[in-house]
């Protein structure tokens, strides 16, 4: 849908495509990570880092929608990521420099969220955990919130890509957003799926089952260099919750629970291949880690409220409130 509006007759054609930037940056970053983990191709690390450092900014715009139209409530906000610098859809006022009446929403590619959300998911380039730039995170969040709000069948009911819109919404969210997200997800299920959970989309149904990672991420996140327990769950509004044997980055199997007052119970963790666990404590004060029948395990302070400990292959650990 965007093709006619992208400059293709010069070197700037398809310049700075959002998904291309996201996947290229993710590829460089993971190549470096795996080279260090596996001790292979270490001679390439400097070149990959140079490529990562040279990545341009994600294309973005500050749209002004006519008052009362879809999107107008976001006018003057953090702005949006867009599919490409030259990829605006007719009907949208790009960078406030066109006299085209802004009425179309979303502006591109039939609600396909990876076009504008790829940096948040699945590449993990931008998120509440790993992004220090508050303005960039706010722009990412507004992009996800706004585009998912105006899908054909209602919020979060994308005609193409539940699995690409729900996870990034959670990745840029906090506990205060939990109720909004749960209502949005529930409404989308009601509006667009059958009794078997498959999406009514005239094909491509099973590709949307990946949306379940968003539900898991409400309760456990492990990207961004550390585990977070119930990072986007507000127990006082949504009630108690628990998860069992969710797999975290690093080959760790994790189970946990939170009660209706928001108190997190001791977390159980099994290490399949060993290595360091880095986690954000959900309690005040230093946490306590034990292995097996209760032998204490030494922990190290990584940063404010973030701790780490070493695990052995097959070890079963408990992380609890140390107070």
Q: Which CA distances in Å does 302 have to 137, 202, 264, 323?
A: 23, 49, 21, 19
What are the structural domains of the chain? 3-221 (no CATH), 227-321 (2.60.40.1180)
| Better-predicted residue by pLDDT, 162 or 219 | 219
Residue 35 in contact with residue 47, Cβ under 8 Å? no
Asked whether residue 124 carries a pLDDT value surpassing 90, the answer given is yes
Mean pLDDT over the full length of the chain: 85
**pTM for this model (two decimals):** 0.87
pLDDT(12) > 70: no
Nearest to 309 by CA among 261, 245, 252, 256: 252
Rounded to an integer, the average pLDDT of 268-278 is 97
With a pLDDT cut of 70, the percent of the chain lying above it is 86
Q: Is the pLDDT score of 39 beyond 80?
A: yes
Query: How many Å separate Cα 308 from the centre of its chain?
Result: 23
Give the helix, strand, coil percentages of the chain, each rounded to 5: 35, 20, 45
For the chain, the straight-line distance linking the first and the last C-alpha, in angstroms and rounded, comes to 57
Q: Is the pLDDT of residue 192 over 90?
A: no
Arithmetic mean of pLDDT, 88-97: 43
CB-based burial label for 210 (10 Å; 0-12, 13-18, 19+):
middle
The dihedral over CA atoms of 20, 25, 27, 31, expressed in degrees to the nearest 10, equals 160
Among 51-60, 98-107, 255-264, which is the least confidently predicted range? 98-107
Over pLDDT 90: what percentage of the chain?
60
In this predicted structure, the answer to whether residue 92 has a pLDDT above a threshold of 80 is no
What's the average model confidence in pLDDT over 254-259? 98
Concatenated DSSP letters for 278-321? EEE-SSSS-EEEEETTTEE---EEEETTEEEEEE-TT-EEEEEE
Q: Specify whether the CB–CB gap between 143 and 81 falls below 8 A.
A: yes
The answer, yes or no, to whether residue 125 has pLDDT greater than 70, is: yes
**pLDDT at residue 283 in the model:** 96
Q: What is residue 107's predicted lDDT score, i.e. its pLDDT?
A: 53
pLDDT of residue 209: 76
């Amino acid at each position: 849908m965007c093709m006619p509006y992208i400059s293709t007759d010069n070197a700037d054609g398809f310049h700075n495509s959002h998904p291309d930037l996201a996947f290229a940056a993710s590829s460089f970053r993971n190549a470096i990570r795996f080279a260090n983990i596996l001790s292979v191709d270490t001679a390439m690390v400097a070149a990959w880092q140079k490529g990562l450092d040279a990545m341009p900014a994600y294309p973005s715009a500050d749209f002004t929608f006519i008052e009362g139209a879809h999107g107008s409530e976001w006018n003057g906000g953090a702005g949006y990521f867009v599919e490409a610098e030259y990829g605006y859809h007719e009907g949208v006022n790009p960078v406030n420099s066109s006299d085209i009446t802004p009425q179309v929403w979303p502006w591109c590619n039939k609600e396909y969220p990876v076009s504008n959300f790829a940096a948040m998911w699945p590449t993990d380039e931008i998120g509440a955990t790993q992004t220090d730039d508050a303005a960039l995170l706010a722009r990412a969040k507004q992009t996800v919130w706004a585009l998912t709000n105006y899908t054909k069948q209602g919020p979060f009911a994308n005609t193409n890509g539940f699995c690409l819109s729900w996870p990034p919404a959670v990745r840029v969210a906090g506990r205060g957003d939990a109720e909004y997200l749960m209502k949005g997800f529930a409404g989308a299920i009601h509006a667009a799926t059958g009794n078997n959970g498959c999406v009514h989309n005239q094909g491509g149904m099973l590709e949307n089952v990946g949306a379940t990672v968003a539900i898991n991420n409400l309760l456990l996140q492990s990207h961004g260099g550390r585990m977070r327990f119930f990072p986007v769950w507000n127990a006082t509004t949504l009630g108690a919750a628990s998860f069992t044997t969710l797999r975290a980055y690093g080959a760790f199997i994790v189970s946990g629970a939170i009660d209706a007052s928001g108190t997190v119970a001791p977390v159980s963790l099994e290490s399949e291949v060993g290595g360091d666990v880095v986690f954000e404590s959900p309690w005040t004060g230093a946490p306590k880690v034990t292995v097996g029948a209760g032998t204490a395990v030494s922990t190290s302070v990584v940063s404010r409220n973030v701790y780490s400990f070493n695990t052995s292959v097959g070890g079963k650990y408990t992380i609890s409130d140390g107070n």
